[in-house]
Amino acid sequence: MADRTLRQAALRKRARLSQDQRMSDSAKIARRLMEHLREADTIALYLADENEVDLRPLLPLLWETKRIAVPVCAAKGAMCMSELTEDAPLVKNRYGIEEPATLKLLPASVFDVIVVPIVAFDANGHRLGHGMGYYDRYLVHTTACKIGVAFDCQQVAQIDARPHDVAMDLILTPSAVYDFRNPAGTR
Ligand SMILES: Nc1nc2c(c(=O)[nH]1)N(C=O)[C@@H](CNc1ccc(C(=O)N[C@@H](CCC(=O)O)C(=O)O)cc1)CN2
Ligand SMILES: Nc1ncnc2c1ncn2[C@@H]1O[C@H](COP(=O)(O)OP(=O)(O)OP(=O)(O)O)[C@@H](O)[C@H]1O
């Protein structure tokens, strides 16, 4: 199926989740994610829009011991990561997503883990984002562990791999952990 069709179907399904479901599913994903952040010092998260997996409740805990950054959209398709500190003022970008108002850029090489928002994914670890290539362009510059997060309803049968796709190391959903670092696949 065409990427655009898969993307739109997944976005529609995600938008239909109730607020309660979204919160409890996000909390399940957050619990799974914490297991993979123990060794990490510097982590890229993202600030969820109203429909995405929302990992903000983790921030107070993470700030105690870790350095956190979130994406900032630059020119078309280009993205950088800016440190997010407690009480830092936020502004909305052109997509209505919050970003730190004052930039404290961190280079891609410092991240131990990058948590990647997903629009649609398949059991082989292929993912679709919003189709702008922000993450695909960014992830080529890092050796960080790349952890995609999604609700179960965002899984589709198959996404054809494109040459510029950067594979996820893990995809976490409320009900499953897909570990692509291990060739044996899922559990
Ligand atoms: N929370 C969050 N931050 C992020 C991303 C993300 O997916 N989620 N990004 C990941 O790349 C980058 C921003 N990219 C984005 C690109 C398009 C749209 C968007 O909503 N576009 C259309 C909807 C069309 C569509 O998605 O098909 C819109 O504005 O309505 C949002 C983010 C960087 N920051
Ligand atoms: N590394 C790259 N260098 C140059 N162009 C790229 C790169 N990665 C992706 N692109 C371009 O970006 C556009 C969107 O790519 P794609 O459909 O794979 O985005 P996506 O994976 O859905 O989104 P994202 O990566 O933002 O989550 C395509 O036109 C693609 O050619």
Domain parsing of the chain, residue ranges: 3-179
Q: Are the beta carbons of 134 and 71 closer than 8 angstroms?
A: yes
Chunked mean pLDDT (size 10), the chain, 187 residues: 94 98 98 98 98 98 98 91 97 97 97 98 94 95 97 96 92 97 62
Q: What CATH architecture applies to the domain 3-179?
A: 3-Layer(aba) Sandwich (3.40)
Specify the amino acid at residue 30: A
The answer to whether 114 and 147 are in contact (CB under 8 A) is: yes
**What ipTM was assigned to the predicted interfaces of this complex?**
0.92
CB of 123 closer than 6 angstroms to any ligand 2 atom = no
Report how far ligand 1's centroid is from the alpha carbon of 112 (Å).
23
Residue 7, ligand 1, Cβ within 6 A? yes
What is the distance in A from the centroid of ligand 2 to the CA of 101? 26
Q: Can you give the pLDDT at residue 112?
A: 98
